[in-house]
Amino acid sequence: MDTWLIEVQKYPALYILCCSAAFRILHRLLQTVPCTVDTDPWKTWKWKNLSVSLVHSLLTGTWAVACVIQHPVMVHEIHSTYTPLSYLLIVVSSGYFIQDAGDIIFSGYAKESWEFLLDHVLVIWCFLYAVFTHHYVAGAVVALFVEVNSVFLHARLLLKLARVAHSSLIYSINKIFILVTYVTFRLGAQFYLTWYIINNYSSLEHAFLFLVTMVLMNIMILIYFYRLLRSDFFSKRRHENSVHKFAED
């Protein structure tokens, strides 16, 4: 196993391509879609895309947390410290993001998914830098903590595509997990990395580029968080207020 991991570090581009191909094959295998989406090409593509994304999130989110538990010093030395398994994690995840970006572009839905595409571009350049320079590998691992939250975000979108009611038990439980993991694993990880770069700015390579990237991603996740709260937590209150106002009028 150790010898194989050494080979991965010697030929990272080859293994990234292999991982991209593996996720593409998975996309081809996930042909089953619910009857609520199979008559709509956009929803059918979205279902398959989200299904692959869910597999990636389950895999890499768990893997990232396990890497930090096994080697906690990575959190404090995100620029220079990593383990072979954490390096392999970034290779695998890089392959997924490249495959998914290609899927978005070549499917013809880049316009509808431009936010995801922009996020992927930012992630890909950071991850490829880590893979080929062996710097910031631990930072990329910490960044993958967001995939714990993505598990529930992807599940939410799949439930919506399947037309599961917002008031259903499974949707209600899932949105609580979304809220908790969004604050802890997504906002927590992103803001920690931003703080780390600012606090160690003078000693980090290409700190300006990474800081700009983190700021852009922070803006995106805060906007999405606002949309999420408005859609799943405040929509009922807005509806009740509008009904009350109508009754008064």
Q: Is 60 exceeded by the pLDDT of residue 221?
A: yes
What would the mean pLDDT of 30-51 be, rounded to a whole number? Answer: 87
Q: What is the pLDDT of residue 30?
A: 85
What would the mean pLDDT of 8-15 be, rounded to a whole number? Answer: 90
**Residue 109 CB coordination number (10 Å):** 18
| CA pair distance 18, 12, nearest whole angstrom | 10
- What pLDDT, in 10s, does the model give residues 41-95? 899 999 999 999 999 999 999 999 999 999 999 999 999 999 999 999 999 999 9
What would the mean pLDDT of 5-24 be, rounded to a whole number? Answer: 91
Using alpha carbons, select from 173, 181, 174, 137 the residue that is nearest to residue 157.
Answer: 174
Q: Per-residue confidence at 245, pLDDT binned at 50, 70, 90?
A: very low
| CA pair distance 157, 163, nearest whole angstrom | 10
Burial letters 118-157, b for 16+ CB under 10 A, else e: ebbebbbebbbbbbeeebbbbbbbbbbbbbbbbbbbbbbe
- What pLDDT, in 10s, does the model give residues 139-185? 999 999 999 999 999 999 999 999 988 889 999 999 999 999 999 99
Using alpha carbons, select from 150, 165, 189 the residue that is nearest to residue 68.
Answer: 189
pTM: 0.90
Q: Per-residue confidence at 31, pLDDT binned at 50, 70, 90?
A: confident
